Amino acid sequence: MQQNYLYPQVFMVDGGPNLNPYVPPPAWAPPTLKKKRKLDWRTAGVILLLNLVLLALAGLALGTVYLLDLRKEIQEMKQENGGKVPVAEKIIGAQNITKPPKDLRAAAHVTGYSVPAGTNPLMWDDRRGHAFTRRVQYKDRGLVINETGIFFVYSKIYFRSHQCEVDKNLEHIVFKRTDRYHKDVILMESKKTNYCLGNGKEWATNSYQAGIIRLSKGESIYVNVSDSKLVNFDESKTFFGLYKL
């Protein structure tokens, strides 16, 4: 007796694969990969040119901003100066030539000043020629210290005459006055003898003194000589000064 065998019923759900073992799976081929296109030299040149153009535009924009800022700064300088000082001097820093730095040390150099004979302490010129004072005051023939510190003090006297007095000494004294003592304090002193050959002979000699001395604020220093008539007051021959170390 002939028997009929039924194939099992197979259903496809949601587009799933065919589960029928008697139906071969559909043939498929892997997708073909697209080949990358190589950039030719023309494309590379165009990209490079675009980058250069962008860089140039960026530089132009920065330059414009800088010029605008500079123009604003110049206008502010003009308003501050009121048109009296050239703006160019502020831009290049030339104002430093006329305005000394604040950290300059105290110093003074005063030169000989001719006065009537027999006057002590010696009088000095603090303005003309090589003379100057900086953070030190010249007052009442002396240099007044404005700040306490260690100072290098120096003094030079040029003695000369047309007559020789053999028995007369030449004295040159640097001294200070201070509120801490009731009398003058000698800082440096020199005496000269036998400085000439004899009567009727013209003679000249120098006396130079220098030292490192601690001076306090408010103290003042002076110079005395034995006979001011014998002093040549030329500024290159007789002078007195100090500077802070």
pLDDT by residue (tens digit) across 141-171?
A: 999 999 999 999 999 999 998 888 777 889 9
Secondary structure percentages of the chain, helix, strand, coil, to 5: 20, 30, 50
pLDDT tens-digit readout, 8-61: 555 555 555 555 555 555 555 555 555 555 557 778 777 888 888 887 788 777
Report in angstroms the alpha-carbon separations of 204 from 52, 110, 116, 180. Answer: 82, 22, 20, 38
Whole-angstrom Cα distance, residue 227 to residue 116? Answer: 11
Q: What are the sequence ranges of the domains in the chain?
A: 43-99, 107-244
Whole-angstrom Cα distance, residue 237 to residue 206? Answer: 8
Q: pTM for this one? A: 0.58
Burial of 142 (0-12, 13-18, 19+ CB in 10 A): buried
Q: Domain 107-244, what fold?
A: Jelly Rolls (2.60.120)
